[in-house]
């Protein structure tokens, strides 16, 4: 028997949690829950607990690799431990609550009463149409489906918006630098200035690039031209570099790291700015760009954070990401959620 403990949520999350629970009791099939990247999954616990109590089947889809938010929230807020974290589509699905990733979920043949697709707590990899196709295949006629994203995955359906996280700070609105300089070979002076500013203010800089080839090119000239700014300039290649390089960067001060690993999320880091090089590259969707720049937060104690998009030409995805961030902040201000 599932027992829901007394959940301690912020006023904003309590409102959203109750709205999701009430929606689950109604007749609407689909719900978009829109929020900032890397927000918690605790807002779903109340509705999930109701489905477990009624012996219904729930599927929670997330591409988180470690420390899955929902599992932690279930442990913290309920006595239920009967969930299954599914790593193989052939495994037994007797559990009421199944948690798995996109690739496993699209191979499942079961149908579920409640499906929650979470692309808030990991870097978004899939187009909305692919998400909908996958969820449709897991649904029966009365299934309820929730899409947890920075935007509406299913247009023209009900939306619940949570425009802040627990710290109640606005997202940093990214700046874009459009330069004629070949950023495969050379550093624009304005970018050098931003690096200098960050390091002079005792901040680290995380530079994202689209692939391994760009890691090598950007690292070489950053190392050559910025050695006078920092004695800790490194690179990390996805699925190849030693994890110790990443951990060392976390512990350094005035450090610069170039990487193609987008899942390095810097919200847990203090005094870290981010740059996205080749931000007009098609690999950087507007959702990915929004996730990357969310790693920087300005607060009263740390008001200097910057997120910079660097590219050679204007990009629809860059503009869309800027609009998403601006709209989150506008919504948060109008709802009276922000402290600063």
Q: Which residues contact 264 (CB under 8 A, 6 or more apart)?
A: 206, 236, 246
Q: How many CA atoms lie within 13 A of 198 on its CB side?
A: 28
- The CB density around residue 5, as the number of other CB atoms within 10 Å, is 11
Per-residue tokens: 229: 């700014």
Tell me which CATH code domain 175-334 carries: 3.40.50.300
Which residues of the chain are under the pLDDT cut of 50? 1
Domain ranges of the chain: 11-162, 175-334
Q: Report d(CA 333, CA 331) in Å as an integer.
A: 6
pLDDT in tens, 153-169: 999 999 999 998 888 88
pTM for the full model?
0.92
> In this structure, which topology does domain 11-162 adopt according to CATH?
Rossmann fold (3.40.50)
Contact 168, 302 (CB under 8 A): no
Report phi then psi at 288, rounded to 5.
-65, -45
- 118: closest CA among 106, 93, 100? 100
Q: Report d(CA 195, CA 177) in Å as an integer.
A: 13
Q: What is the pLDDT of residue 275?
A: 96
Say which residue the tokens 């976390």 belong to. 250
Contact 317, 285 (CB under 8 A): yes
Q: Report d(CA 152, CA 119) in Å as an integer.
A: 12
- Alpha-carbon separation of residue 24 from 59, 149, 245 (angstroms): 14, 18, 45
Q: What is the pLDDT of residue 305?
A: 86
Per-residue tokens: 44: 């779903």
DSSP 8-state code for residue 300: S
Report phi then psi at 189, rounded to 5.
-60, -35
CATH fold match for the domains 11-162 and 175-334: yes
The DSSP string of 148-161 is EESS-SSTTSEEEE
Residues pairing with 146 in the sheet: 31, 116
pLDDT in tens, 300-317: 666 678 999 999 999 999
Contact 42, 240 (CB under 8 A): no
Q: Report d(CA 164, CA 55) in Å as an integer.
A: 33
Q: How many CA atoms lie within 13 A of 164 on its CB side?
A: 25
34-47 exposure pattern, b = at least 16 Cβ within 10 A, e = fewer:
bbbbbbbbbbbbbb
pLDDT in tens, 217-276: 999 999 999 999 999 999 999 999 998 998 899 888 899 999 999 987 655 567 889 999
């Amino acid at each position: 028997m599932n027992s829901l403990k007394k959940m301690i949520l912020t006023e904003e999350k309590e409102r959203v949690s109750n709205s999701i629970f009430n929606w689950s009791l109604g007749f609407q099939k689909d719900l978009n829950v829109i929020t900032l990247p890397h927000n918690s999954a605790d807002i779903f616990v109340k509705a999930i607990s109701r489905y477990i109590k009624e012996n219904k089947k729930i599927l929670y889809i997330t591409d988180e690799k470690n420390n899955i938010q929902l599992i932690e929230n279930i442990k913290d807020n309920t006595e239920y431990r009967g969930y299954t974290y599914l790593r193989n589509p052939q495994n037994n699905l007797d559990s009421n609550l199944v948690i798995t990733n996109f690739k496993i979920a699209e191979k499942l043949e079961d149908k579920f009463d409640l499906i929650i697709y979470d692309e808030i707590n990991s870097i978004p990899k899939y187009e909305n149409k692919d998400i909908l196709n996958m969820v449709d295949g897991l649904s029966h006629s009365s299934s309820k489906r929730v899409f947890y994203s920075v935007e509406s995955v299913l247009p023209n359906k009900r939306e619940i918006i949570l425009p802040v996280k627990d710290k109640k700070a606005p997202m940093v609105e990214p700046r874009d630098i459009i330069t004629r300089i070949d950023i495969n070979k050379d550093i624009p002076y304005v970018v050098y200035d931003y690096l200098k500013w960050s390091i002079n203010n005792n901040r680290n800089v995380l530079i994202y690039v689209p692939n391994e080839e760009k890691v090598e090119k950007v690292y070489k000239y950053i190392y050559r031209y910025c050695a006078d700014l920092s004695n800790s300039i490194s690179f990390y290649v996805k699925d190849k570099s030693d994890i110790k390089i990443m951990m060392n960067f976390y512990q350094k001060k005035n450090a610069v790291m170039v990487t193609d690993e987008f899942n390095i999320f810097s919200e847990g880091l203090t005094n870290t700015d981010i740059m996205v090089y080749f931000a007009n590259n098609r690999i950087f969707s507007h959702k990915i760009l929004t996730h990357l720049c969310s790693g920087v937060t300005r607060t009263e104690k740390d008001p200097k954070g910057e997120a910079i998009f660097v590219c050679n030409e204007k990009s629809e995805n860059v503009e869309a990401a800027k609009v998403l961030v601006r709209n989150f902040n506008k919504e948060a201000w109008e709802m009276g959620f922000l402290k600063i």
